[in-house]
Amino acid sequence: MSDRTAWASLSPGRSRVWHRIRVASGFIVVILVFVSILFISKHRHGEHLEQNWKCATATIEDVRVREIEQVSSARGGVVLYEVSILAKYASGGTDHRQWIIVEQPPVTLAEVELETFRWKGQQCVVRWELSEPDQMIAEVS
């Protein structure tokens, strides 16, 4: 086999294997770009929270619910509830007690009973934006 024929058999333009490698490399590059954009946006969001939001650890003293809507279907209806917690927390050297709506989708009565049982006496994190201290968010796990 001459040098020319050997080079032609190894050249990337003539083989389907090389084409597949280029396509796979392109997919890998696209995935890496997507993951890095996602990482950067999460990092910026975390920085925004640290700079513009204040947080405190709170103890859940009580849980209450409020009916917000009734979803009806042909076989029966489901009532959905909004859950609020009475949070006790310290901020700026002062103790506070405040009812805070839990940021979650509306829940059914069975879920409300489970959350009430689980959450009383537990700790959670409450956050508020420095520009709007009355608009609090409770992060309950």
Q: Which residues contact 4 (CB under 8 A, 6 or more apart)?
A: none
pLDDT given for residue 130 in this prediction: 84
pLDDT at 11 over 70: no
pLDDT at 136 over 80: yes
pLDDT-based confidence at residue 25 (cuts at 50, 70, 90): very high
pLDDT given for residue 74 in this prediction: 62
pLDDT given for residue 103 in this prediction: 84
Alpha-carbon distance 54 to 130, whole Å?
A: 6
Residues of the chain with pLDDT > 90: what percent?
28
pLDDT given for residue 43 in this prediction: 94
Token pair of 76 as six digits: 């029966």
pLDDT at 29 over 60: yes
pLDDT-based confidence at residue 32 (cuts at 50, 70, 90): very high
Residues 68 and 76: beta-carbon distance below 8 Å = no
pLDDT at 119 over 80: yes
Residues 83 and 115: beta-carbon distance below 8 Å = yes
pLDDT in tens, 46-101: 888 778 888 899 999 998 888 888 777 666 678 888 889 999 999 888 999 999 98
Residues 71 and 80: beta-carbon distance below 8 Å = yes
